[in-house]
Amino acid sequence: PDLLPACNGEITTMSFLQDVVDILLQYVVKSFDRSTKVIDFHYPNELLQEYNWELADQPQTLEEILLNCRTTLKYAIKTGHPRYFNQLSTGLDMVGLAADWLTSAANTNMFTYEIAPVFVLLEYVTLRKMREMVGWPGGCGDGIFSPGGAISNMYAMLIARFKMFPEVKEKGMATIPRLVAFTSEHSHFSVKKGAAALGIGTDSVILIRCDERGKMIPSDLERRILEAKQKGFVPFLVSATAGTTVYGAFDPLIAIADICKKYKIWMHVDGAWGGGLLMSRKHKWKLNGIERANSVTWNPHKMMGVPLQCSALLVREEGLMQSCNQMHASYLFQQDKHYDLSYDTGDKALQCGRHVDVFKLWLMWRAKGTTGFEAQIDKCLELAEYLYNKIKNREGYEMVFDGKPQHTNVCFWYIPPSLRSMEDNEERMSRLMKVAPVIKARMMEYGTTMVSYQPLGDKVNFFRMVISNPAATHQDIDFLIDEIERLGQDL
């Protein structure tokens, strides 16, 4: 209404935005207050009744707009809350938030240097640094920030296919043999999604067996590669996982690299969750062999706590992404511009317009240094070990797999008193299956904490605790356990 670009809109704009900032600051500060709820949960039909969310013909006043902001945040989940453990992306970093605000204010698009000069350079600098940490000499190679790990994994599959059969770009799948990809049974579902989207088909993703800790078994990988070749299929990609989503397992990358080399198959490492450990001198050995990968997915929006979204795909061979994806749109990528065109990186992407995701990571890295990320990650791993030690022999708990967690995933069943002396039979299983969902539902209704659960294979619902929230402390872990027992003892 009276906001810019309206004539003399400066004062109204400043005071409106100041009010918005005040609302946001209050929200941010409250997020860290343990006496506030993680969520003010309402069932969808209730929440629809709580407020008038409908769009209307008539404009609202700025006062009403501010009320919309307050109401939206009132029912939002406080992802920075020290007791929010529900996802792999948790926590709210102050510098990251500032960087996100700046990014929104700059409101530009990543396709060319022309319209994103600083951001394009920062993407170049940051991706090179990440490749250095992967272990590629001098940080050489290529890469891009993509809209999440699932898309990064799909990029890897697309580029691996192009490397082997470049003609697929023009001629399509009908001109090439049946391709097959390999990944572990604990890998992320996005590998299959990528295969479906690229016309490879989910049946062509062969799931390799894992050991009891959730790590891919290399001998099974080799067996399945040979089997596929015998059938006349062409193995083109192995997607190893560094930090599986549920167990936090690291596949044996060196053994997998040897097999990929032997059979000349593209090695991708999905380090969406585990990639952050490259920042830690204490834990990076878990990714030994990653330097032999042809491509790597690494999500700074998970373990490194960068605000959503921030996911990188790194590729060892330079130029491949460009050849694979470029379409030379002449209205964007004019070849007679007056600067070095290698900085027009947009044609590497599948997207046309691309959001600026790099600035949050870059500014946080400046603020913390590598050692700051390292300290943050080491602390989360230490907390996971504290939780593991606390419950491994505690009455009423069973671990889903034995041994110290490799990542911050701690998977366990809480066994309520009524089930503790029961025989391990079907009735116990079907009752245990219901325990985690009921406790979780109660957590959300009280709004005290949130943690995830799932079944996996033949295992009934178990809790998967993950810690990526730098605000969490030992007391918050203690609280979680007390809360599970308080909410679950009558089940």
* Residue 303 · residue 330 · CB < 8 Å: no
Residues 6+ apart with CB under 8 A from 4: 10, 13
Q: What does the per-residue mask of binding to ligand PLP show for 81-100, with x meaning CB under 6 A?
A: -------x------------
- Which strands form 410-414's sheet, in the order they lie side by side? 397-399, 410-414, 459-465, 452-456
Q: If binding is defined by CB under 6 A, does position 239 make contact with ligand PLP?
A: no
Q: If binding is defined by CB under 6 A, does position 188 make contact with ligand PLP?
A: yes
Q: If binding is defined by CB under 6 A, does position 467 make contact with ligand PLP?
A: no
Least distance from ligand PLP to the Cβ atom of residue 301, Å: 7
* Residue 244 · residue 270 · CB < 8 Å: no
Of the two residues 259 and 466, which places its CB atom closer to ligand PLP in the complex?
466
Of the two residues 274 and 416, which places its CB atom closer to ligand PLP in the complex?
274
Stretch binding ligand PLP (CB under 6 A), from 50-58, 61-69, 266-274, 464-472: 266-274
Identified binder of ligand PLP from the candidate list 90, 103, 295, 311, rule CB under 6 A: 311
Give me the half-sphere count of Cα atoms (radius 13 Å) on the Cβ side of residue 52: 6
Of the two residues 190 and 345, which places its CB atom closer to ligand PLP in the complex?
190
Identified binder of ligand PLP from the candidate list 120, 272, 277, 439, rule CB under 6 A: 272
Of the two residues 204 and 239, which places its CB atom closer to ligand PLP in the complex?
239
Q: If binding is defined by CB under 6 A, does position 287 make contact with ligand PLP?
A: no
Q: Which burial class, exposed, middle or buried, applies to 436 when counting CB atoms under 10 A from its CB (0-12, 13-18, 19+)?
A: buried
* Residue 270 · residue 237 · CB < 8 Å: no
Place of tokens 């009280």: 446
Of the two residues 273 and 462, which places its CB atom closer to ligand PLP in the complex?
273
Give me the half-sphere count of Cα atoms (radius 13 Å) on the Cβ side of residue 401: 18
Query: C-alpha distances in angstroms, 152 versus 220, 271, 315, 324, 356?
Result: 26, 10, 10, 14, 16
Return the closest-CA partner of residue 246 out of 415, 408, 396, 84.
Answer: 408
* Residue 153 · residue 188 · CB < 8 Å: yes
Stretch binding ligand PLP (CB under 6 A), from 9-17, 269-277, 379-387, 392-400: 269-277
Q: Looking at beta carbons, which residue is closest to ligand PLP?
A: 149
Identified binder of ligand PLP from the candidate list 92, 116, 133, 150, rule CB under 6 A: 150
B/e letters for 262-281, b = 16+ CB within 10 Å, e = fewer, are eeebbbbbbbbbbbbbbbbe
Of the two residues 24 and 207, which places its CB atom closer to ligand PLP in the complex?
207
Of the two residues 190 and 204, which places its CB atom closer to ligand PLP in the complex?
190
Positions 151 through 170 that interact with ligand PLP (CB under 6 A): 153
**CA–CA distance, 67 with 78 (Å, rounded to integer):** 18
Positions 418 through 457 that interact with ligand PLP (CB under 6 A): none
Return the closest-CA partner of residue 205 out of 177, 231, 185.
Answer: 185
Return the closest-CA partner of residue 344 out of 119, 175, 10.
Answer: 119
Q: Element (H or E) spanning 398, and its range?
A: strand 397-399
Q: If binding is defined by CB under 6 A, does position 300 make contact with ligand PLP?
A: no
Least distance from ligand PLP to the Cβ atom of residue 39, Å: 20
Stretch binding ligand PLP (CB under 6 A), from 35-43, 267-275, 460-468, 482-490: 267-275
Total number of residues binding ligand PLP (CB under 6 A)? 15
Q: If binding is defined by CB under 6 A, does position 190 make contact with ligand PLP?
A: yes
Stretch binding ligand PLP (CB under 6 A), from 41-49, 146-154, 178-186, 380-388: 146-154
* Residue 237 phi, psi dihedral angles, 5° rounding: -155, 135
Of the two residues 228 and 272, which places its CB atom closer to ligand PLP in the complex?
272
Direct distance between the N- and C-terminal alpha carbons of the chain, in angstroms, rounded to an integer: 56
Q: If binding is defined by CB under 6 A, does position 270 make contact with ligand PLP?
A: yes
Identified binder of ligand PLP from the candidate list 31, 90, 103, 245, rule CB under 6 A: 245
10 Å Cβ neighbour count for 478?
13
Identified binder of ligand PLP from the candidate list 90, 112, 184, 241, rule CB under 6 A: 241
Residues lying near ligand PLP in the complex (CB under 6 A): 88, 148-150, 153, 188, 190, 241, 244-245, 270, 272-273, 299, 311
